[in-house]
Every structure is written in structure tokens, then in C-alpha cells.
Chains A and B, each alone.
Chain A
């Protein structure tokens, strides 16, 4: 029973920022050393808690961007213009600072290399973060599983992990397809426009190949994509979704 595998209490603990990396104009990756990290599976998230001098606190959840094989826990934060927590994490936090967090959380939207069947990852914007953890895990373990990442961004400059995706695409069994929805270079050979049903039918394995499908992104992106996958014949129970609301984080 899944019940026996439940974790114990998730305690708050302090991680220390060891490095930061700019991903795009809006997104930044934090690398954290978390002394009592119990390990995680790709797709899981952490809760982060900030405390002001007067004791006021704000909590948010962020997907884990690193694989279990990586050194440190990585979080990639998309800066929301009117956010309370994300601008602090992207603009104020520096190496040497501490960050209170607990996790890992979530056991459904997860993938690990022991799972068979082709892996179809579909993301919009910062929805790529938990899928990137899956890609890094795949690259570290190299299981006999074919992988496709279909990623949608507004422009090339908005593609989080762009250089890393190019490197990953060099693996024979790993296919990266990027859709740019607003602007693209003149010589852009990827998809122009949104990920739609035609694009999905071209890029997805047929249902009889039993792909495992993970869709992550803003609510409207996930709603549209998951509906198009079902309409094109994919089994609803093969599709796991994670949606970001406009929660002012």
C-alpha cells in the first residue's frame, strides 16, 4: 500500500544558498545546501517560508529543478512582477544567505528512471522546472527510455535552460522541440505558435506505445494541452498535470 511509504513529519529547516544562476530576464536558479535533505524524486516541490524582522511570514511552493544525483537542491524562480516572495528570491537573496524550507512534497507528479514507457514532457513557460529535474535524472541514469520535451515559450530569450536543452538534445534518445508563441528569429526552424493538437499529434507517441505524459505550466496552457491530448486519443490516466494559477507569488 502507498500508505506504508508515507514520509514522516516534514520539518522546516534552513538551507544555505551556495550559488545563483540567471536563466532568463525573469528567471533565476538558486542552488541550496540543505544539510538534512531526505532525498527527493523528480517532479516534487518544496515549501519556502520567509520571515520579516517583526515575525510576519509568507509561504510559497516551488518545484525542485535538480535531479537526485545533483549536488545541492536547485529551485528556479520565475519573478512575478507583483509578487511578494518571488522578487525577494530573485533580486535579494545571495550566496551565503539562508532560506527556510521543507520538503520534498508531492508523490503523484513524479518520475524516476525505473519507470518504463516513453516519456513525454510538455511545458509552458516556467512549467519546465520540474520537467528539467526529470531530464537531468534521465541524463544521469540513462535508462532505456526515449524522451521528448515539448516546450512552449514566448520568445527564444524566454526559454529557461536554453543552453542546457541544446546540450541534452545531443542524446540520441532525447528529443527537444521548442514552440515560440510571440516572436522568433528569422531562421527559426522550430514550431511557430502555440502547442496545438496538430503539433501534439505529430510529436506524441501513439497511445498504444503507452507514453507517460507530464504536462506543467499555467492553467490555460495545461487545460488546453491536456484536453488536446485526450481528444487525440491519449488515455486520460496516462496524463499527469501540474498547474500554476495566477496566485501572485
Chain B
């Protein structure tokens, strides 16, 4: 139990459904940017998306082929480990069900890798069944570079560092291999409703 902070009243938001805000989070109307280095700028002409690793046959799409894949319009709440949440964000992208259907694998995990060197790890059960996308539009516009454009992962049921910006591929793995932030003490799974921010949470 936390002792009360002397004189702290707090500012409860009116008109917000508390069941949509995970513990320790607060709502923002802006769209903060957090990344560990400079924003990579990859032209769509130079862009491709690859699924490889523990698969029978790797698959790869150039930009034009990728955006010709069936898409979903997605409206979801997102939660950043730095404590902001944003409700009803609107995206367009390709479901990971659609992408992973194209490969044969016995793998149970994947590492998403990105321009700029960022990686993050995910269990397949966390990205299949309508839970994850590669998104390339935000709010009806092409995804801006600082928000991960040309395309980023969107895994809204986990903290947003799992929604890797500038994603270029998924490497399927038979064992779970911690990614960038997961190696720096952040939680391996990152469920915001369980407040799995850091290792041991």
C-alpha cells in the first residue's frame, strides 16, 4: 500500500471511461514521439518487408506489392510505457495473420527488426488472431517518419515499444530472444493491464 502524498489531490478526468486506462497511465491528446536515435528515412522505392528465420521459405514484398495486400481499418487504444495512453487511434495496415499465413513454420516467437537497428520480440500467440498489424497509415494519412513511417508494427494490446517503428521484417525464432528494450531491463511481455513495465514486474 502506498501512503498518501501530503497535499496531493490528483486530477481525475471527467468523461473518461476508467476501464480504458491501464494502471499508472494517463491520457494524452497529442502523439508523443519516443525513440532511441535519429529517425531513419527510407523511401518506399527502397523499402521491402521480409519474413524469414525459422521458416520453410522466406517471403518478401516490395512496397507496391505490400500495399496491394488486403488491409484492415483499425481503431484502437495505445499505451506507452512512459505512461501516456491515447484512445481511439485510427490506422490502416496489413494483419500479421495475413502475412504469417504465407510461411510454413514451427517457430513460436518472432523478432521484428527495423531500419535504424531497433528490434523487439513477440510470441506468435500475441500477434495472431487479429492482434497485430503492419500499419502504414495513421488517421487517413501516410505514416510520418517520426511515428515509424513508411510502416510500423501495431500491437495495441502490449506497451507501445512492442509496436516497432520503421519495421522491415519479422524473423521467426524457435526460442524467445529479447529485443532492444527487453535487453535494457524492460519487461519481456509488456502487458499494460498487468503493468509489466520492467523486468520482474
Contacts and interface: CB of A to CB of B under 8 A. Distances in A.
Interface of A: 2-3, 6-10, 12, 14, 47, 49-53, 56-61, 84, 88, 92, 97-100, 105-109, 219, 223, 226-227, 229-230, 236-237, 239-241, 243-248
A49 B25 CA distance: 11
B16 interface: no
Interface in B105-126: 116-117
B185 A227 contact: no
B183 A3 contact: yes
Interface string B38-49: 111000000000
Contacts of A84: 10-11, 26
Given A10-B200, A107-B184, A107-B185, A248 B2 contact: no
B33 A245 contact: yes
Contact of B38 (A9, A10, A230): A230
A52 B2 contact: no
Given A84-B10, A229-B38, A245-B30, A7 B185 contact: yes
B140 interface: no
Given A10-B200, A241-B36, A52 B8 contact: yes
Contacts of A240: 36-37
25 contacts: A2-B183, A2-B184, A7-B200, A8-B199, A14-B3, A49-B2, A49-B24, A50-B5, A52-B4, A53-B4, A58-B8, A59-B24, A92-B7, A98-B5, A107-B184, A108-B36, A223-B146, A229-B38, A236-B37, A237-B37, A239-B38, A240-B36, A241-B38, A245-B82, A246-B28
Nearest to B36: A108
B26 A248 contact: yes
Chain B interface SS verdict (over half): loop
Interface of B: 2-12, 23-26, 28, 30-40, 82-84, 116-117, 146, 178, 180-181, 183-185, 197-201
Query: 3 smallest A-B Cβ distances: which pairs?
Result: A245-B32, A9-B200, A226-B38
Given A2-B183, A219-B32, A52 B9 contact: yes
Contact of A60 (B7, B30, B83, B197): B83
Contacts of B6: 92, 97
A42 to B, nearest CB: 15
A56 B12 contact: yes
Given A58-B11, A61-B82, A88-B5, 6 more contacts: A6-B199, A9-B199, A9-B200, A10-B200, A47-B197, A245-B31
B146 to A, nearest CB: 6
Nearest to B11: A84
Given A60-B83, A88-B5, A100-B5, A246 B34 contact: no
